[in-house]
Structure 1
Amino acid sequence: MTTAAPARAMPKPILSGKASRAELVTIRAFLIIPFVALLAAVPLVWGWGISWVDVTIAAVFYVVSSLGITVGYHRYFTHGAFKANRPLRIALAIAGSLAAQGPVIGWVADHRRHHAFSDREGDPHSPWLFGTSPLALAKGFWHAHMGWLFGRDRTNIDRFAPDLAADPAIRFVDRLFPLWVTLSVVLPAVLGGVITLSWWGALTGFLWAGLARVAFQHHVTWSVNSVCHMIGDRPFTSRDKSANFWPLAILSMGESWHNTHHADPTSARHGVLRGQIDISARLIWLLEKAGWAWNVRWPTAQRLARLAKPAD
């Protein structure tokens, strides 16, 4: 008597439905308000200038929240490039939330989906989904850069981020996302007011180090999705059109070595070639030295040799 083979489980759907109207309004507010603030801040520079207090506060919040995205949301939570102790895990989730790019669980689900279908149908933000004509590429660039964020599709958490959804501490941080965003724009205003002992310092801190900084940060991250899938070098073999774009290396904390990342997604270092600055990898190295991170997946010469494209 033969035994029937067990039925293969059907894969969970890519999407879990559509975002509600309230969610869409919230998302669009996070996208539009900082950008409007950036435009409003420009006349302030012409009229009264920007102080070193504004620049310093903005730089601190930019670095902390950017590394929260690159080291936390991306290399740790999405790809498991290293293991971290509990306090660091929570700190990275909060730091990434300060960038106002979305709650950690949804962000990770979207990015894992991006890698699963990179530059193919199912990728939430590929610039190559509409064709290769100039008009199609212009439409694709807009879609990859920020247009996809205005859509209603919701990535299925159960399929792409069940590990994070099962973690009570990360769920708690995820639910408090509005609080972290509020702190991200209010704290610079408080610091600006306290340091300058003026309401004007509070206002410029709110505009520059708060809203304008968030808007600038958004566009740096979105450029990795758009520019780094269209323009740049491709020294390593990958399944898609990801590319290394050096002008964004410092602002993106090393994320713009994107072809390298897509060739070896779980690697803790993206800037692997000589002269490629990767600030995020340096922070991971420091965390490893401090004993807060371990099992770091550093690239090896042998693996890079296997991934390198053959010479023409």
Structure 2
Amino acid sequence: MEQVTLLLFITIPFLALVAAVPLAWGWGVSWLDLGLMTAMYFIGCHGITIGFHRYFTHSSFKAKRPLRIALAVAGSLAVEGPVVRWVADHRRHHKFSDAEGDPHSPWRYGETVPALMKGLWWAHMAWMFDREKTPQHKYAPDLIKDPVIRRISRQFVLWTAVSLLIPPVIGGLVTWSWQGALTAFFWGSLVRVALLHHVTWSINSICHAVGKRPFKSRDRSGNVWWLAVLSCGESWHNLHHADPTSARHGVQRGQIDSSARLIRWFELAGWAYDVRWPQAKRLEAKRVRPGDADPA
């Protein structure tokens, strides 16, 4: 029953989205629309994974000022909330991961099937509507002290508008039509933001409920391979919770991590430095051995 519950929770929303593509093809979507959706998706996704998450939250590397600002803006284009709030919530999540105090653990209500269903819903999106807010001055004082990052965070509504307007403006100019602008807005703005939101939220819900756990962590974080590409490497979540400051999450053979690849390119270009790449000895020490107790 638990597996059926998880399967339904995971597949139904994605099947609905996938079904919309062939239904709309030929009259409601074009290659331009898909191109804009893909480009804006991965700009925002990497803004979250590299910027908000690995850089601002965990200091996995240091960035020169222009890159620091660019990452704050790119993450804001994902429309997942102001950078200071996002970072504060995530730092709190790591402090209390899957325990009391975690803002979005799927195990909040217990381990029965009804409790897990309720917990998955909570971890996926319901927690964002909770009245209890993470104190930003406590969890993100470093970002608040930076006037530029603080300003970008306060300008979240502006960056949301920019994010939603870029696709229809480009679509309208390329096709020189209102229809081109409208379909670009639907796919490049609305569908793109919805898909990115659900993929990001799935890291909070799905990756803390299922997945392989090859490394020791004090929570239930797991690796979910089929989310790796869409999450830009974030779904290798077990290693991340075992070693939160690591700049690479997909450390085993075949584990795609586009965020780590981009950080490497930033390092080669001289824009990023003091990158905390995973070390073989450290990984080996964190690897689960036969007989080790399961944190679950």
Could you give the per-residue CA deviations for residues 276-307 of structure 1, whole angstroms, max 9, x where no partner exists? 00000000000000000000000010000000
Classify the secondary structure of the residue corresponding to 1:154: coil
| 1:230 and 1:241 in contact (8 A); partners too | yes
Q: Which amino acid aligns with 1:111?
A: H
Counterpart residue number, 2:93: 114
Distance in 2 (CA, whole Å) between partners of 1:88 and 1:43 is: 38
1:266 paired to 2:245: yes
Instruction: Output the aligned Cα RMSD.
Output: 1.5
Q: TM-score, normalised by structure 1?
A: 0.86
Q: Corresponding residue for 1:249?
A: 228
- Residue 42 of structure 1: how far off its partner (Å): 6.8
Aligned partners of 1:81 and 1:268 also within 8 Å: yes
Query: 2:191 maps to what in 1?
Result: 212
Q: Which runs of 4+ in 1 moved over 3 A?
A: 41-44
Q: Distance in 1 between matches of 2:137 and 2:126?
A: 25
C-alpha distance in 2, partners of 1:253/1:46?
26
Structure 1 residue identity aligned to 2:76: S
Which of the residues 245, 263, 285 maps onto 2:264? 285
Aligned partner of 1:76 in structure 2 is 55
1:44–1:50 CA contact under 8 A, matched in 2:
no
Residue equivalent to 1:35: none
Larger radius of gyration: 1
Shift of 1:44: 7.1
Contact 2:28 2:183 in 1 (8 A): no
2:212 paired with 1:233: yes
**What are structure 1's unaligned runs of at least 5 residues?**
1-37
Q: Give yes or no for contact 2:49–2:259 (8 Å, CA) kept in 1.
A: yes
2:158 to 174, 179, 202: 179
Letter in 2 for 1:307: K
Identify which of 102, 106, 109 aligns with 2:81.
102
- Per the TM alignment, residue 46 of structure 1 is displaced from its structure 2 partner at its CA by 6.3
Aligned positions of 1:162-173 closer than 5 A = 162-173=141-152
Residue ranges of structure 2 left out of the alignment (5+ in a row): 1-16, 292-296
The one-letter amino acid of 2:250's match is G
CA shift, 1:311, in A, is 2.9
Select which of 53, 56, 72 maps to 1:93.
72
Deviation at 1:153, TM superposition (A): 1.5
1:46-94 superposed Cα distances (whole Å, 9 cap, x missing partner): 6714100000011111111100000000000000000001110010000
Secondary structure in 2 aligned to 1:62?
A: helix
SS at structure 1 position matched to 2:290: coil
- Measured in 2, the distance between the counterparts of 1:311 and 1:285 equals 34
- 1:239-293 CA distance string (max 9 Å, x none): 1000000000000000000001000000000000011000000000000000000
Q: Distance in 2 between matches of 1:183 and 1:89?
A: 19
Contact 2:213–2:221 (8 Å) recurs in 1: yes
Answer whether contact 1:113 1:155 (CA < 8 A) is retained.
yes
CA distance in 1, matches of 2:22, 2:263: 39
Bigger CA drift: 243-252 or 145-154? Answer: 145-154
The count of aligned residue pairs is 274
Equivalent position amino acid for 1:122 in 2: G
TM, length-normalised to structure 2:
0.90
Q: Which amino acid aligns with 1:173?
A: I
Counterparts of 1:165 and 1:46 in 2: how far apart (Å)? 46
Contact kept, 8 Å, 1:243 with 1:257, in 2: the verdict is yes
The residue identity in structure 1 corresponding to 2:105 is: S
Match of 2:289?
310
Pick from 25, 36, 51: which aligns with 1:57? 36
Once the two structures are superposed, what CA deviation does each residue of 1:124-143 show, in whole Å capped at 9, x if it has no partner?
Answer: 00001100010000000000
